[in-house]
Structures are given as structure tokens and as C-alpha cells.
Chain A
Amino acid sequence: MTIDRISLRPTRRAFMGGMGAAASTALFAPAIAQSRQLTIISNRGNADQRKAVENIAADFGKAAGVSVTVNNMDHEAHKTAIRNYLVASPPDICFWFSGQRMRSFVEKNLFEDISDLIAKENWAGPMGTSIGAVTVNGKQYGLPTGGILWGLFYRQDTFDQFGLKAPETFEDFFTLAAQSKKAGLTPMSIGTKDMWTAGGWFDHMNLRINGLDHHMDLMAGKIKYTDASLKEVFDLWERLVKADFFSANHTSYAWDPAAAAVVQKKAAMIDLGNFIKYAFPADDLAQVRFKPFPSIRPGVAQYEDFSVDSIHIPSGARNKEAAKEFLAYFYKPENLGAYLAPEGNMPARSDCPVGNDPILKMAAESMKTIKGTAQYFDRDTDPDLAQAGMKGFQEFMVRPERREQILGQIERTRARIYG
């Protein structure tokens, strides 16, 4: 890559020259060697994952005869920068999040339609349900890379010790509650201080009761929060709250103390994503078990929250052909696996190796039976509505008797945004 070659001579002028070249590779690169080029903006925070992106890019460059430039950005700064660069100076490849966060760019015509690439490479099969995360009106605008699968986690040794059983149906929750309390455990650990955990619980309940289509309509603002279809969700949720099913004082805790309660055998279960492994000491990882949220309404298929990161071609990219070739290379199972391994997320391709991670192995097994996926409450709906909704759910979990007021307030926000 150009930058390395120039900065080998550590004079000030060379450094300035290097900066200039880095800033405008698109202008200077053709004169150097290859005629084809590709610019990638990466937002990966994990240092090993950044390295993986650079390795894949370099290998691709050699194989395809393309000079590739990777620009790394800070993960959080990238969230605002992307709004600028997609319009002002789009790269050929960029990383982002699928779902609503992708849709808002698709609606502004900022992401390229890559349905033809997906059809040509026959990816619909290995992608499985995660294809839905990058589909808008039947067309695909990106490739899902990896994601977080959400569900219930528990420790097998805790369950053995107290004779607990993982819930299969909603009523099993109450058996779990009674037995856990007899054993002095919190049945369901949750920390709602940051509010999103309450949004996730709502997702699970609504997906099990009303199914995916209803849920996505709700997320898109097409259904009122005061709609009768949601009554059962809040009825059942209220029963759980009144049965003291959740952690006491859960608004005082963030997700990590809540996960710690499960690790320390003070709570039976927790509703979380595969990143729970960071809460466990390495020796205890073998005890962790994953269990999908129990079914509630009979006949509703298994839909889950699966928050998927993704990779895109901006519609203003200059080298779309090279970009598509890169995607084809990047999306090979072995390359995608190498990219995801440092971060520890679930591959969006079912034929991608997950390595030795025990939690990922269980999640991968579970992925095979899932019929469709949502992302997560705050990734699927408008950020303004997400904030109001999660705040309302948090209040509901403390004061279920205020349901009408709470839903009225969320509905006012929905009406203001979606009309």
C-alpha cells in the first residue's frame, strides 16, 4: 500500500507527502502501479478485527490486481461521519448496521442495490433468515456479516444444584419462579438502568405472541401502541412482574451486574446476547447454556432478535465492479470466519465456521430452527420512538398499574413521528 512505502523515509516532507497521498489516494494511485483501485472505510473497534480486515483486503488486492486502501475510523465517530461521507465522498465499501439503520440510508438512495450479486453467488441459501436484515422491498442493499443472537442464558450447575428446568412454555416461567425463590435465587436477572434490556424483553414477548410481521409493522410505526393486539403482551408481562419474576430494584443495575448475578449463582436465568461470555470467568464457560425464549401463543413460529452488522457498497462508489468482487471474496466462509473470530459474534452465514466458542456453537445450533429475525428494539424502530418506548417499558416493569398512561405516552410519540 502507498502509505507504507512513503512513510519508510521518516523525513518531515515525506511525512507530509504521505499524509497528502493518504488523503487523496484516489487521485494519485493510478500513476503508481495498478489501474484498478478500491477504498474501504472500516469502523471496527477491536484491534485484531481491524487487522483481519486489512489482511483480507491485502490478499484480495494481490489476487485481483487491485490497489486497496483501508481507512480505519473510530467506531462511535463513524456513526456520525457516515452521514457526511456517504453524500460528500463515498468510499467503495463501508461497514454499517442492517435493519432500520440501513433502511434510512436506502431510502435516501445512499446504498447500492446488490441483489444481482447475491443471486449470482447463490448466497440466499447460506444466509438463511439473516437475508431479511438487509432486504428492503425485496431487494438487498448489503451483506449481513455477523450478529448477536438474543435469548435466555443459565448455568447448568446452578440448575442441577437446585433441580431447575429451562422453561419450554410461558407457564413454565411461573414454575421456575416458584422453585428459584425456594432456592433463594432471583428467577430472571435483569438490569434496566440502561433501558434497552426492557426493550429486548418486549421484543421476545411480542414475537412469540404476534409474530414477526406484526412486530416489524409495529417497529415501522404502522400499528398503534394502544392497539388491542398488544393487550396480551402486557397482560402476561404484568403477571410476571406481579410474580416477582425479575430482579428486585432492576432499575439500579446495568446489564453487567445483572449478568454477574447469574455467574455468581444468585439468579437462575438472564435474557441477553452471546456477549454474555465476557461476564464469565474462562473456567465457568463450560457451564453456560443457551435456551431460546419459550413459546407463548401456539402456532407462532420461532422468531428471534438477531442484531446484525453489515457491509455495503455506497451508491456513489466509483469502483463498483471492484467493490462487488471484493464482497464476493470477503464473503467466502473462511474469510468471513477470520473477520468475525476476534469479535466473537455469530456469523450471518450458516456455513461459516464458528470455532471453539461454546456459546456460539449453541447459538449456531439454535439459528438453524429460526424462521425469521428482527434486530432489536432500538435497532428496528425510529431512535426517538425507541427512547420513549424503552423508557415506558422500564416504567411498566416497576409500575404495571400505570399501563394505560405509559402506552398512551409511547403512542403519542409514535403518532408524532409516523402520523
Chain B
Amino acid sequence: MTIWWRRHRNWLTPALLLAPGLFLFLVVIIWSSLETFWISFFDWDGMGVKTWVGLANYRELLDDPQFYVSLKNNLIWLLMFLLAPPAGLAIAFLVNQKIAGMRVMKSLFFMPLVLATVTVGVIFTWFYDPTFGLLALLFRAFGAEAPALLSNEHLVTFAVVASALWPQIAFCMVLFLAGLNNLDEELIGAGRVDGARGLAMLWHVVLPQLTQVAFIAVAITIVGALRSFDAISVMTAGGPFGSSTTLAYQMYEQSLFSYRFGYGAAIATILFLIMAVFIAWYLRGLIRAEKGA
């Protein structure tokens, strides 16, 4: 036994350590993805018999006006969410100063990260409420009528993204704060000797040291934007009439409310393909960084 173990432990130890993670990854991610892909070729109500329909689900999807609304909304989410890293960076600079009371400020900016997305969604729904909401009261103070943001088909997605952006900015801020704490003091000192200060110092000395953090912040933000679901579910349920639905929410709605698991799986597959592009980009960056280091 011991001899056998000694002979093989070189590869057995890492294998055993990796096994639980690998097993979960295979079952939860790989196997589920493959099965979803397989189901997308069927007409299935989730209970009864599956009927093979080939590419019919995908063909219908290309004809479905809701699909393009969802796609457009996903794009809005993506673009607006990309505001989070720069905003987080700006706030990180702001609170990274040694001024009395800055800890309180830091915790205030950090707070939304502690709240569940669902809580944030509910708070923002109240905030937007056109009769009792804070926004309506503010507008009324100036004698104006507040727009019913969650009822306006053109503004609703922006209103929902704004609520999701709040915790996302806090998240980026925390990442950048950690990055700022790891700045190389010697480099900054050298820069100062060379006469760099203000914007020049920021641009040539500080920011280059934050690229790794920025890369992670952007990648996580993109994935967060694409899988947006909970805020939509809580605040609008995809409405009014589907105008705030994203691909993730449409998949949920089709599968669970309309009992069309095949169609939902087709939407999931498309979403997976879109995400795969960004994930590939992220992995490439990650591998490059590791080789560089």
C-alpha cells in the first residue's frame, strides 16, 4: 500500500485535490451545457414526450421580435455596465486619501455590495414609483411630473441597469482599492524625482500598474451584464410587454411560464455563444498575463 502510494503520489495528490472541483465543473457546467444544447433541438413541455424538431427552435427565434428586443437590451446592459470600472476607479481614488472620516465614506460606497440584488431591485422600484417614490417627490418639489420609468418602454431598461450598476460600481471600487494598496512605492518615488505629478503621474505611473485589476474588473462586469436576470425579475418581470426582457430573462420566461423548454434551451445556447466570445477573450488575457509574469 505505502509503496504503491509512494510510487504514485506525484500525480495522485493533485488528482485527488482537483477531483471535487473537476467533478462539479463537469456535472454542473459541461454536462448541463451539453444537455441544454441537445434539448434545444426538441419541442418539449418539460414533462411529456420530447419531439425532435431539428433547427426549428432557432429558426423561430430568428423570426421572434422579442428576441431582437432582448438582444438590444443585452447590448444596453453591456454598454452601460462598462461605466462601472471607470466610475469605480474614480471613487477608489476619491476614498483612497488619508482624510478624517474617509473610512465612513468608504463603507458608504461599499454598502450596496452587501445588499442582495433583489433588495437593491426592490429599493429602486420604490424609488421609481410614480406616485409615492422618492423620484416622484423630487420632481414634484420642482413642480414637475416624474416620468414613470418602469412603465416607459424606452426608458425601462436604462432604469433597471441603473439599479444594477450601483452595486457593480461598488464592486469595481473595491477591486481598484485593493490595486491601489499594492502600488509600488519605489516607482512612485522615482516618478516624483523625475518631476511627474498630477495627471502625468496618474497616467504614466499609477494606471499602468492597475491594468491587471482593470482587466479583471472589465471581464467580470461584462459577464455580469450578460447574465443580468435578478434585477429584471424583481423590478419589471421583463415588462412592460417584454420591453425590458434580456436573453436570460426570456429563456426563463419561455421555459417556466410558457412550458417551452426546447425554445428556452435554444435561447440559452445563443446566450452561451455570445458569452463564449468574451470568456475566450478573458482567458486569453489571463494566460498571457501568467506567461508574462
Q: How far is the CB of A104 from chain B (nearest CB, A)?
A: 10
Q: Which of A83-110 contact B (CB under 8 A)?
A: 83
Summarize B's interface: helix, strand, loop or mixed.
loop
CA distance A248 to B242 in the complex (A): 19
Interface centre among B130, B241, B242, B253 (most CB of A within 10 A): B241
Instruction: Say which residue of A248, A384, A392 sits within 8 Å of B148 (CB atoms).
Output: A248
Q: How far is the CB of B80 from chain A (nearest CB, A)?
A: 21
On whether the beta carbons of B259 and A384 are closer than 8 Å, the reply is yes
On whether the beta carbons of A387 and B253 are closer than 8 Å, the reply is yes
On whether the beta carbons of B129 and A252 are closer than 8 Å, the reply is yes
On whether the beta carbons of A249 and B65 are closer than 8 Å, the reply is no
CB within 8 Å for A394 and B257 given contacts A252-B130, A252-B150, A252-B151: no
Interface residue tally for chain B (C-beta within 8 Å): 21
CA distance A80 to B259 in the complex (A): 12
- Contact of B285 with A by CB under 8 A: no
Instruction: Say which residue of A193, A249, A384 sits within 8 Å of B237 (CB atoms).
Output: A193
Contact string against A for B residues 128-145, beta-carbon threshold 8 Å, 1 for contact and 0 otherwise: 111000000000000000
Contact string against A for B residues 144-167, beta-carbon threshold 8 Å, 1 for contact and 0 otherwise: 000010110100000000000000
CB within 8 Å for A391 and B151 given contacts A249-B130, A383-B259, A384-B258: no
On whether the beta carbons of B257 and A251 are closer than 8 Å, the reply is no
Q: How far is the CB of B121 from chain A (nearest CB, A)?
A: 13
- Contact of A238 with B by CB under 8 A: no
List B contacts of A244 (CB < 8 A).
Answer: none
- Contact of B54 with A by CB under 8 A: no
Instruction: Say which residue of B128, B239, B253 sits within 8 Å of A251 (CB atoms).
Output: B239
Interface residue tally for chain A (C-beta within 8 Å): 22
Instruction: Say which residue of B151, B236, B257 sits within 8 Å of A383 (CB atoms).
Output: B257
- Contact of A194 with B by CB under 8 A: yes
- Contact of B114 with A by CB under 8 A: no
- Contact of A398 with B by CB under 8 A: yes
CB within 8 Å for A251 and B242 given contacts A387-B258, A409-B65: no
Instruction: Say which residue of B128, B153, B237, B242 sits within 8 Å of A194 (CB atoms).
Output: B237
CB within 8 Å for A249 and B241 given contacts A384-B258, A384-B259: no
- What is B's interface to A at a CB cutoff of 8 Å? 47, 60, 65, 128-130, 148, 150-151, 153, 236-237, 239-242, 253, 257-260
